């Protein structure tokens, strides 16, 4: 978003001003940032490096050595749940960025060429993908990619772009009737330059909000998919921890389950609150 970054006193700074006044939104952002710092630490190998090591006995309870206790085979639950934050961010970021990009490009082209073949194809594609049950699609893609670790990402991206594309398409249909687009036509600017230089930058507020919503959706889906065995293959995630905990819970050991669900709940909740605040701040009816 280089265009956004170069603006000095702009719609964005107005939105930032509104966002800063939203106390819940800022609290949400703080929680998200705390999670993000944890994730970066994992990526840099600063902590949670021993998430796979067997460091204690079966189901050790909370102690100064194992803050959240240990699991069935004696691995440290605290380290595993912190490591899972990085997994969540990795999936959330990849899926959010790629599906937003895909949605932006396809939605913008559909909107710009609305009523023409490009538009009809994109709308048809959205309809088809939307009509397949999500988990069936994931299973199908996982099967097709033969256990490829990216099959979950591919499945999420191939469905999550649709909402973004729909919103962008609507906005672009509105924008392309405005006079500055007509001015570009009158000058003789090529059509694709008009789309990407003049129209898409004006949908950034939608893309920003959509990418935060997609981020949350991706994290939640990962947990469910991993729980079902369709998700994370190697590595650790909250979904896998909860999946591990199913029989532990029956035996009265809750540490694994609580650690994963509380952290996930915290991140998802905080991100949703932040996303709402962002949406309020960027709402063009209130901003302009």
Which of 29, 85, 152, 184 lies at the binding interface for another protein (CB under 8 A)?
184
Q: Is residue 120 a contact residue for another protein (CB under 8 A)?
A: no
Q: Is residue 188 a contact residue for another protein (CB under 8 A)?
A: yes
Q: Is residue 217 a contact residue for another protein (CB under 8 A)?
A: no
Q: Is residue 7 a contact residue for another protein (CB under 8 A)?
A: yes
Q: Give the footprint of another protein on residues 164-183 (CB under 8 A).
A: 178-180, 182-183
Which of 128, 187, 250, 285 lies at the binding interface for another protein (CB under 8 A)?
187
Q: Give the footprint of another protein on residues 14-73 (CB under 8 A).
A: 14, 17
- Its sign, for the CA torsion 228, 41, 268, 212, is negative
Q: Which of 170, 168, 169, 197 is nearest to 183 (CA)?
A: 197
- Rounded CA-CA distance 224/228 in Å is 6
- Rounded CA-CA distance 232/235 in Å is 7
Nearest approach, Cβ of 101 to another protein (angstroms)?
18
Q: Is residue 201 a contact residue for another protein (CB under 8 A)?
A: yes
Q: Which of 75, 71, 69, 78 is nearest to 48 (CA)?
A: 78
Nearest approach, Cβ of 209 to another protein (angstroms)?
17
Q: Is residue 198 a contact residue for another protein (CB under 8 A)?
A: yes
- Rounded CA-CA distance 72/257 in Å is 12
Q: What is the Cα Rg of the chain in Å?
A: 22
3-state secondary structure of 70: strand
Nearest approach, Cβ of 8 to another protein (angstroms)?
8
- Rounded CA-CA distance 222/204 in Å is 26
Binding residues for another protein, rule: CB under 8 A, are 3-4, 7, 9-11, 14, 17, 178-180, 182-190, 197-198, 201-202, 204
């Amino acid at each position: 978003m280089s265009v956004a970054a170069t603006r000095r006193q702009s719609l964005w700074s107005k939105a930032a001003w509104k966002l800063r006044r939203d106390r819940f939104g800022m609290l949400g952002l703080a929680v998200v940032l705390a999670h993000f710092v944890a994730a970066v630490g994992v990526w840099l190998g600063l902590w949670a490096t021993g998430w796979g090591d067997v460091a204690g006995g079966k189901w050790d309870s909370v102690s100064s050595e194992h803050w959240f206790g240990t699991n069935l085979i004696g691995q440290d639950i605290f380290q595993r749940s912190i490591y899972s934050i990085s997994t969540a961010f990795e999936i959330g970021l990849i899926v959010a960025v790629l599906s937003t990009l895909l949605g932006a490009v396809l939605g913008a082209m559909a909107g710009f060429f609305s009523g023409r073949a490009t538009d009809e194809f994109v709308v048809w594609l959205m309809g088809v993908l939307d009509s397949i049950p999500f988990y069936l699609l994931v299973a199908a893609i996982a099967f097709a990619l033969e256990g490829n670790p990216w099959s979950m990402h591919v499945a999420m991206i191939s469905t999550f772009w649709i909402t973004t594309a729909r919103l962008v398409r609507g906005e672009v249909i509105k924008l392309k009737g405005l006079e500055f687009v007509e001015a570009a036509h009158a000058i003789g600017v090529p059509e694709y330059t008009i789309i990407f230089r003049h129209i898409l930058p004006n949908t950034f507020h939608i893309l920003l909000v959509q990418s935060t919503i997609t981020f949350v959706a991706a994290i939640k889906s990962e947990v469910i998919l991993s729980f079902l065995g369709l998700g994370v293959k190697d590595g650790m995630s909250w979904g896998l921890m909860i999946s591990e905990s199913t029989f532990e819970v029956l035996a009265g050991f809750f540490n694994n389950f609580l650690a994963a669900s509380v952290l996930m709940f915290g991140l998802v909740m905080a991100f949703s609150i932040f996303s709402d605040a962002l949406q309020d701040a960027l709402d063009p009816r209130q901003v302009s």
